[in-house]
Amino acid sequence: MAKKIRVLVVDDSALVRQILTQGLNNDPDIEVVGSAPDPYVARDKIVELTPDVLTLDVEMPRMDGVEFLRKLMPQFPMPVVIVSSLAERGCKITLDALDAGAVDFVTKPSSNVMGGLSAMMGELCAKVKVAAKVDVSHWKGRTVVAPKARIASHALSVSTDKVIAIGASTGGTEALRKVLERLPADIPGIVIVQHMPPKFTKMFADRLNDVCAIDVKEAQNGDRIIKGLALVAPGDAHMTVIRSGGTYVVDCTPGEKVCGHCPSVEVMFNSVAKYVGANAVGVMLTGMGRDGADAMLNMRKAGARTMAQDEKSSVVFGMPKEAYERGGAEKLVSLDNIPEALIQLLNQKTP
């Protein structure tokens, strides 16, 4: 019999602790070994129970989840899944928690409708299983490291009418930041799908905008794809790229989930294959599942250049692996080397 994933639930609400414990224990692969109402009790129970994964509320009295993570991860790194509210403050703290080492997050349902609770528990169980396999040992003794220097603008030579399309999921918030903050201000236009709910995508885009030489914003219907601008798909809509006269623009439209997601990388990459073709460069970053893998192959068949993040630097080697094994990604590249590899592909003519 396979060993169950041992989980510690941390939440200041006794009712939430009960709901999460029951929901997680209903999964045959998961066992909740304990719960804690705050980080102080959690700290002692981590030492006592040695759980495999922590589920953590971010908004708690005495010490919030982010402060706890900043203390925990450098001393006792372990996979953490955040359980967050959709309130604006909850969105901000959740993004802070991802920066502090959390693997992923789920959002609490906005109402007590059983369907919403059931969907949330299904998502939490899936993300706990993924988190249990993530190696977070690099957080041990970690200190804040200054970002590497941006690539000089003169590194670009052939970039007219190019479009860069990037897909990401679990671990993608940190990976996208590491890539985008090193790109020059005159990089060709970028379109991004990062699996995230509404509200989170705008706040995430605003954060990237603060640290990057390029402009970053949450996409709106009709936005033009222009040099020096990255457009992040909104959390409740599929983003597609279309040709409008001599320019590329994005269409953001709510729809059914594709490959389990809305926005979906598959939808965006397929539109890039159709309308941008050989003028595109595709990048698949860390993420769970296969979203975008088949569409990246369509991009490559249309003449686009492509790459995917390698296993060692990925938080979850799911989407990049699928893209590479299905022939969509030409090569696997470490996260640190993706900005330079991107510039190289932009400067190469299509094969």
**Per annotation, catalytic residue among 169, 264, 271, 313:** 169
238 labelled catalytic? no
Q: Residue 3 corresponds to which amino acid?
A: K
DSSP 264-323: -HHHHHHHHHHHTGGGEEEEE-SBSS-TTHHHHHHHHHTT-EEEEE-TTT-SSBSHHHHH
Classify residue 261 by its DSSP letter.
B
DSSP 110-156: SS--HHHHHHHHHHHHHHHHHHTT---GGGTT----PPPPPPPGGG-
291 labelled catalytic? yes
**Per annotation, catalytic residue among 291, 310, 313, 314:** 291
**Rounded distance between C-alpha atoms, residue 205 and residue 286, angstroms:** 18
**CB under 8 Å to 187, separation ≥6 — which residues?**
156, 159, 164, 214, 227, 228, 346
Residues in a beta bridge with 244: 247
169 labelled catalytic? yes
- Reference 292, options 276, 312, 313, 271; nearest CA is 271
For 134, the token pair is: 């993530």
DSSP 192-256: EEE---TTHHHHHHHHHHHH-SSEEEE--TT-B--TTEEEEPPTTSEEEEEEETTEEEEEEE---
**Rounded distance between C-alpha atoms, residue 322 and residue 54, angstroms:** 28
**Per annotation, catalytic residue among 195, 271, 310, 313:** 195
Instruction: Give the HSE-up count for residue 77: Cα atoms under 13 Å, Cβ half-sphere.
Output: 14
Classify residue 342 by its DSSP letter.
H
Catalytic residue positions, numbered:
169, 195, 291
